[in-house]
Amino acid sequence: MKKLTTLAAGMLLAQLAMANVSAPAAAPAATATPQTPAQWLDRMTDFTRNASAYRDPKVFVPWSNAVTEPGFYTQMGINMMDPGNWYRMMGTMLDPRSLNNYMQFTDPNMYMKWMAASMDPNFYTALMTTMLDPGKMMRWMMMPMDPQMWNMMMQSLNPNMYLKWMMAPLDPRLWSLMMAPMNPNLYTSWLGQSMNPATYGSWGTWMNPASYAVPGMVPTTGTAPAGVVNPFDLSALFNMYAQPAAAPAAGQAAAPATGTFNFFDPNAWTNMFNPAAWTAPAAPAAAAAQPAPAK
């Protein structure tokens, strides 16, 4: 009976891990810019979204304003005392969407945004305005008397905080996190995310055959448009060396093409030694008769 109970508990934990960690590998929906320290900490400890502040200069400005506020660090201290926040953060590390979060740094469009921001005076003005805000300086000076600061310090006297850490080994969220590496769907989700072209931003278009337009190539049948060679189609690759031949006129035998030689055609090499495959050169035209000299 005890073994059956243990087996049932293990299957339940595996299902929890599958539901909580192996989420669909789609990119997370775009959300509004956080407004409070708690919202910023929720995003910055989420490994599926925490790189957004560094990819866009428009998000970097409010982020730099938030991390220079004293309330950001008092809220961080409170969050660090809750074991549930650590479970959630480590769970996002196992989420396949974290790969999409960081592989966006390979997108050239991101660097174009930063290059444009580096030449925009408004970007520097916005940064300096937040850094030189007199209200921000006053909040730092008044931090020892901030109620949030005292609330963080008084958490050390709260017995519920110690009770949470004592009960952490029995927390289902911790067991769900520990069972996640045993879930096969986790690895298949990571593999699928790594093979998804959208994971790599605009660089992912190199995996799309329709991105390559080679002029003069023989178009292949299928979904690829005309003038596009599908690098994954073997017949298209072999057609790269095909020499188009002119259609003979009606009622006439096809004459061998002159002036072209396909080095990849064995028949062309064989016909080099076949006299019947070569046409005799035409006789030169007779010179026109010279008029008789006038007397």
Give the domain ranges of the chain: 52-200
pLDDT value at residue 52: 86
Which of 53, 14, 16 is closest to 31 using CA atoms? 53
Report the chain's mean pLDDT, rounded to a whole number: 75
Contact 32/108 with Cβ under 8 angstroms?
no
pLDDT value at residue 16: 47
Half-sphere exposure of residue 224: CA atoms within 13 angstroms, side-chain side: 21
pLDDT tens-place string over residues 104-151:
888 888 899 999 999 999 999 999 998 899 999 999 999 999 898 998
Confidence of residue 197 (pLDDT cuts 50, 70, 90): confident
pLDDT tens-place string over residues 49-58:
888 889 889 9
Token pair 């008789």 in the structure block, residue: 292
Contact 249/255 with Cβ under 8 angstroms?
no
What is the torsion angle, in degrees rounded to the nearest 10, for the CA atoms of residue 60, residue 66, residue 68 and residue 72?
-140
pLDDT value at residue 210: 58
pLDDT value at residue 14: 46
Confidence of residue 257 (pLDDT cuts 50, 70, 90): low
Report how far apart, in Å, the C-alpha atoms of 190 and of each of 95, 100, 180, 184, 230 are: 8, 10, 13, 10, 27
pLDDT tens-place string over residues 3-20:
445 545 554 544 444 444
What does the H/E/C string look like for the chain?
A: CHHHHHHHHHHHHHHHHHHHCCCCCCCCCCCCCCCCHHHHHHHHCCCCCCCHHHHCHHHHHHHHHHHCCHHHHHHHHHHHCCHHHHHHHHHHHCCCHHHHHHHHHHCHHHHHHHHHHHCCHHHHHHHHHHHCCHHHHHHHHCHHHCHHHHHHHHHHHCHHHHHHHHCHHHCHHHHHHHHHHHCHHHHHHHHHHHCCHHHHHHHHHHHCHHHCECCCCCCCCCCCCCCECCCCCHHHHHHHHCCCCCCCCCCCCCCCCCCCCCCCCHHHHHHHHCHHHCCCCCCCCCCCCCCCCCC
Which of 124, 122, 39 is closest to 75 using CA atoms? 39
pLDDT tens-place string over residues 227-249:
555 666 666 666 666 555 555 55
Question: What is the spatial distance between Cα 20 and Cα 16, in angstroms, rounded to a whole number?
Answer: 6
Q: What is the mean pLDDT of residues 268-291?
A: 65
Percent pLDDT > 70 in the chain is 60
End-to-end CA distance of the chain: 136
pLDDT value at residue 245: 54
Classify each residue of 283-293 as buried b or exposed e, where b means 16 or more C-beta atoms within 10 Å of its C-beta: eeeeeeeeeee
Confidence of residue 67 (pLDDT cuts 50, 70, 90): very high
The type of residue at 229 is: V
Half-sphere exposure of residue 287: CA atoms within 13 angstroms, side-chain side: 3
